[in-house]
Chain A
Amino acid sequence: MSRVNGGKLVAGGILAGVVMNICDYVSNNFILAADWEHIARIRNVDMADMSSTSSLVTYVVVDMLLGLLVVWTYAAIRPRLGQGPGTAIVAGFMVFLAQALLMASYAVSFLTWDVLIRGGVLMLVSALAGALAGGWVYAEEDSGD
């Protein structure tokens, strides 16, 4: 069994992170903007904190790390499921599901169920788009891709 290609993992992870950042920026600043304002109001969270530069930078870094994680997952499950977009989608879905489970457990105390569902759908789109982009870049020398 060949080893994970570290260089391609990083390259794919960066591309996946960029794609996920774009998706999340559009989701949180446009599609879910009113929802986040509502959550901040009912949960006593300062909107200035939610939209601060440090929060923005954190989310950019988080998405880059998630991009690397999605491509790592793709690389790790490739020998079992085969190379290609189907496996990339599975990898993206695995990462999404772990995140969605966490958000579901927070739904009662912090989020609301409707925000959870809307946010979850957009999070799924982001994870799958990132996984497809990152998986497209990732290749292994002896696999002919």
Chain B
Amino acid sequence: MASINTGRVVVGGLVGGVVANACDLLLHLTVMKDDMAAMAQKFGTDPAAMQSMSAVAPWIVVDFVLGLLIVWTYAAMRPRLGPGPKTAVIAGLTLFLAVTAVVYGFTSMGMMSMGAFGRGSTTELVATVLASLAGAAVYKEA
């Protein structure tokens, strides 16, 4: 069994991270804009603070680390599931489900409305699948 090509994981992860960041930026400025404002009001957080660099920076870093994790997961699953976009989507969905389960738990605690959860999860699903496909397209084994 060949070992994971770390160099390609990093390159693919960066590509996946760029795609995830682009999707998140677009979706948070459009689909989730009102939900984010409502959450800021509910939590008593200054909306300006939520859009500040100190609030946005974790999201950017998180998307890049998530991109690396998705491509590493894709690489780890390849011997079982085979190379290609189908395995890339499965790798992304595996991590998406882990994240969404926690968000659903937060929703049940009253953190956000079910509507916001539905919109947020759907948009994150799109972002994750696109990031997975982009990152995995770059990954190759020697």
Expressed in whole angstroms, the minimum distance between the Cβ of A79 and any Cβ of chain B is 4
Expressed in whole angstroms, the minimum distance between the Cβ of B19 and any Cβ of chain A is 16
Contact of A44 among B4, B42, B58 (CB under 8 A): B42
B73 at the interface (CB under 8 A from A): yes
Report whether A1 and B80 are in contact in the complex, using a CB–CB cutoff of 8 Å.
yes
Interchain CA distance A50-B107 in the complex, whole Å: 9
Report whether A109 and B104 are in contact in the complex, using a CB–CB cutoff of 8 Å.
no
Contact of B94 among A73, A102, A108 (CB under 8 A): A73
Count of chain A residues with a beta carbon within 8 Å of a chain B beta carbon: 42
Contact of A108 among B4, B44, B54 (CB under 8 A): B54
Type the 1/0 row for A85-96, where 1 means its CB is closer than 8 Å to any CB of B: 000001000110
Report whether A104 and B62 are in contact in the complex, using a CB–CB cutoff of 8 Å.
yes
Residues from chain A with a CB closer than 8 A to the CB of B49 are 108
Interchain CA distance A80-B3 in the complex, whole Å: 8
Task: Identify the closest chain B residue to A46 (Cβ).
Answer: B110
Contact flag A94-B73 (CB < 8 Å), given A45-B109, A45-B110, A109-B45: yes
Report whether A58 and B95 are in contact in the complex, using a CB–CB cutoff of 8 Å.
no
Interface SS of chain A: helix, strand, loop or mixed? Answer: helix
Type the 1/0 row for A1-23, where 1 means its CB is closer than 8 Å to any CB of B: 10010000000000000000000
A107 at the interface (CB under 8 A from B): yes
A76 at the interface (CB under 8 A from B): yes
Residues from chain A with a CB closer than 8 A to the CB of B108 are 54-55, 58-59
Contact flag A4-B104 (CB < 8 Å), given A45-B111, A46-B110: no
Interchain CA distance A98-B63 in the complex, whole Å: 10
Interchain CA distance A95-B111 in the complex, whole Å: 22
What is A's interface to B at a CB cutoff of 8 Å? 1, 4, 42-46, 49-50, 54-55, 58-59, 62, 65-66, 69, 72-73, 75-81, 90, 94-95, 97-99, 101-110
A to B CB contacts below 8 Å, 18 in the list: A43-B44, A43-B111, A45-B109, A55-B105, A58-B105, A69-B97, A69-B98, A76-B80, A77-B77, A77-B80, A80-B76, A80-B80, A98-B69, A101-B66, A102-B102, A105-B62, A108-B45, A110-B39
